[in-house]
Amino acid sequence: MNYGDVRPALLTPALAGLHALTKPGVRGFPGVDHAQELLARTMRKDRVQGDVLDLSAAGGLLASLPGVTLRAVEGSAAALRALQQAGLDAEAAALGTVLGRWPTRAPTVALILAGDRGNAYAQGQVAWAHANTPPGGTLYLAGDRDKGFDRYVRAAGAAFGSGETVARDGGMRVARLVRRPGPTPPMPEAETYEEWGVKVVGLPGVFSAARPDKATALLLDVLGNPDWNGKTALDLGCGTGLIGAWAARHGAAVTLVDGDLQSVRSAEATLAANGLAGECFHSDVDAALGERTFDFILTNPPFHVGRGVVLDVANEFIAAAGRRLKPGGTLYLVANDPLPYEQPLSALGTVRELRRELGFKVFAVSRTSHGPGPLG
């Protein structure tokens, strides 16, 4: 099946009678996230009905609970495609977004803590859930014990006023909290740093928000100090926007895309902090790019979706380069040493290894006339 195909999620017998859609790039693919599974089981056991605001809706599993009308919120472009296919009027939102799709707050709120995105992001999730839960309303909070769940539940309990962990399955946990009147905890601030002549604004939960990761550092060191005036460049999977802003500093007209809306907001803030022009798109790989093609594509592709190693997205990045490179255009890709990207890269043209050190490798591939043409 193709990367863009939305399909039914593979569910365990414990979720009999429920359903969700999924695709590569959605947490839990080809099934559902383990925390989301326990969340749905717990809410079904509690016979939750009526309006439910799901701040981490993924493929819409909670919409299939009997008697539930789901208000789906997501920051993942891949998940939003699945939700749209499921017929759910989902709202695209980043952490802390003031939701405007619904005039009143739902009495029940659901949220999966993304502890893998760091302490600040999880704290922000708790604050966001608090802001969207009315006094007397209930929050169902799910997450992974090994990713700080117990610590975040204590913080949530302090804000909400009451609550306890009500379900456990392996390392997964679900807590149920009832909100008392009171102030919402503050949202965490962005991180900032400066490297390669770029001031980076790293919002909570964005990859390398506090400092450049080693792979990106290696890529930019290899590229050196090019003159890209009059050229176009795509930062594919832009995160904080460091690579795209660096390319703009070297004269390129830049486009930055990411499947995570929080990352897109971070990239926009980075460009603004440097007074640089550029287009930023929230996009499931290159789906939002229309007919655009580029002289250069630069990427440090993701290979994790949640806790799992999933290469579907990274391989689609490479396929997108085949569609988006101009004739003679070059893809620069950096990756962890063990990841097997050489074969899919070879479909674009001759693969040149520019450097291999510190557990990473940098490749350059220029699109040849016999490779995939622009937009297929």
Q: Which helix (H) or strand (E) holds 265?
A: helix 261-273
Question: What is 191-366's CATH number?
Answer: 3.40.50.150
pLDDT score of 303: 64
Q: Which of 94-108, 267-281, 332-346, 357-371 has the lowest mean pLDDT?
A: 357-371
**Residues 6-18 pLDDT 10s:** 999 999 999 999 9
**Residues 179-196 pLDDT 10s:** 999 999 999 999 999 999
pLDDT score of 306: 47
pLDDT score of 302: 79
Strand partners, 88: none
Average pLDDT over residues 283-307: 87
What is the rounded distance in angstroms from the CA atom of residue 67 to the CA atom of residue 50?
Answer: 6
Q: Which helix (H) or strand (E) holds 119?
A: helix 119-131
**Residues 194-241 pLDDT 10s:** 999 999 999 999 999 999 999 999 999 999 999 999 999 999 999 999
**Mapping DSSP to helix (H, G, I), strand (E, B) and coil, where does residue 91 land?**
strand
Neighbours of 89 (CB within 10 A): 11
What is the rounded distance in angstroms from the CA atom of residue 336 to the CA atom of residue 333?
Answer: 10
Residue 372 pLDDT level (bands cut at 50, 70, 90): low
pLDDT score of 35: 97
User: What percent of the chain stands above pLDDT 70?
Assistant: 96
Q: Are 201 and 190 in contact (CB under 8 A)?
A: yes
Q: Are strands 68-74 and 7-8 parallel, antiparallel or unpaired?
A: unpaired
The ranges of the chain annotated as CATH 3.40.50.150 are 7-179, 191-366
**Residues 328-359 pLDDT 10s:** 999 999 999 988 899 999 999 999 999 999 89
Q: Where are the beta strands (DSSP E) in the chain?
A: 7-8, 21-22, 50-54, 68-74, 91-92, 108-112, 138-144, 161-169, 172-179, 191-195, 198-202, 232-236, 253-258, 279-282, 294-299, 304-305, 308-309, 325-336, 351-357, 360-366
State the sign of the Cα–Cα–Cα–Cα dihedral 97, 98, 100, 105.
positive
Residue 263 pLDDT level (bands cut at 50, 70, 90): very high
Which contacts (CB < 8 Å, 24+ apart) does range 59-62 have?
59/9, 59/20, 59/21, 59/22, 59/26, 59/28, 59/32, 59/83, 59/86, 60/20, 60/21, 60/86, 60/88, 60/90, 61/9, 61/15, 61/18, 61/19, 61/20, 61/32, 61/36, 61/37, 62/110
pLDDT score of 1: 73
Residues 6+ apart with CB under 8 A from 367: 321, 322, 325, 326, 327, 328, 329, 330, 331, 348, 349
pLDDT at residue 369 above 70?
Answer: no
Residue 368 pLDDT level (bands cut at 50, 70, 90): confident
**Residues 143-176 pLDDT 10s:** 999 999 999 999 999 999 988 999 999 999 999 9
pTM: 0.95
Concatenating the DSSP letter of every residue in 219-263 gives: HHHHH-S---TT-EEEEET-TTSHHHHHHHHTT-EEEEEESBHHH
pLDDT at residue 108 above 50?
Answer: yes
Q: What is the mean pLDDT of the chain?
A: 94
**Residues 56-75 pLDDT 10s:** 999 999 999 999 999 999 99
**Residues 113-142 pLDDT 10s:** 999 999 999 999 999 999 999 999 999 999
Residue 312 pLDDT level (bands cut at 50, 70, 90): confident
pLDDT score of 376: 44
Q: For the domain 7-179, what is the CATH superfamily, name and number?
A: Vaccinia Virus protein VP39 (3.40.50.150)
